[in-house]
Amino acid sequence: MISFLQDLKYLFKRFVLIANVLPTVFGFFIAWRYYQVSFVDYLVPFILLIIGSGLLVAGALACNNWLEADVDKLMERTKNRPTVTGSMSLRSVLWIGLSLSFAGQLLLLFINFEVAVYGWIGWFTYVVVYTIWTKRRVTWNTHIGSLSGAVTPLMGWAVIEPAFHVIPLSLFLIMFLWQMPHTYAIAIRKYDDYKRSGLKMLPVVKGFKTTVSRTSIYIALLIFVPFMINDRNVFFYILLSLLNILWLIIAGKGFRTNNIKKWADQLFISSLVYLTSVYTLYIIFI
């Protein structure tokens, strides 16, 4: 049983699973505060959201493992996945992935059609467009992966009201832009793995200088996103601007560093602090 649970941990990429479900939960709570609705009235949809999004993400990650079993054998960071160790057959992993994806999509559909559509967009772009079509071919595969993650707050918001609203759309843009520096940091930290695997990650194909430049551009663009929202508390704009500037300063250090991997570690950690802080500020001030 312990061995099986360990396999599931690696199959579902535990921290990646949590990191994709949390923005969905945050999206729900931001909408809940904004519309000031009764939480009790949305308790069942909220439970369905957590379970459904969790199953859908887990299914997508399992399908990703199945599709990349050949590549995972070449990378140190993925050597413990059951598709590499052989503790699970590829057929079993595929069935797990498809079954969980279907179950998760069905639960989201029980909430409403819009939530299910966002879930489907996230799953399809990650499994098909990102993993199958672009990850082995082009460096802009990161943009596709970012699109998949960016729909998560829209799912949470759409539980309460349609997400065609400036607040969830700003969260979508923040998630999209944030994921580029975050992913580039991972790609630099695991540079040798990605080079060995042949996956078309930007640092491997274009080099570190280009990666640092693009990282700075995406973080700079984040500065403008909160100003899409009108009539919020002035501290909302000040604090978010300070967060963006501080993160941009950290990114800018990459132009002068003599240790690019140490810089990538700093960028990675600061990306987690940044995103957590952004969602906290949205919940407080929206």
* 134-168 confidence digits (pLDDT tens): 999 999 999 999 999 999 999 999 999 999 999 99
Contact yes or no for 274/239 (Cβ under 8 A): no
- Per-residue DSSP letter, 258: S
- Per-residue DSSP letter, 230: -
**What's the mean pLDDT in 32-44?**
96
What are the domain boundaries of the chain? 1-160, 165-286
Sequential DSSP letters for 20-71: HHHHHHHHHHHHHHHHT--TGGGHHHHHHHHHHHHHHHHHHHHHHHHHTHHH
- pLDDT of 54 reads 97
**CATH number for the domain formed by residue range(s) 165-286:** 1.20.120
Q: Which CATH number fits the domain 1-160, given the four candidates 1.10.357.140, 3.40.50.1980, 2.130.10.10, 3.30.200.20?
A: 1.10.357.140
Per-residue pLDDT reduced to its tens digit, 237-279: 999 999 999 999 999 999 999 999 999 999 999 999 999 999 9
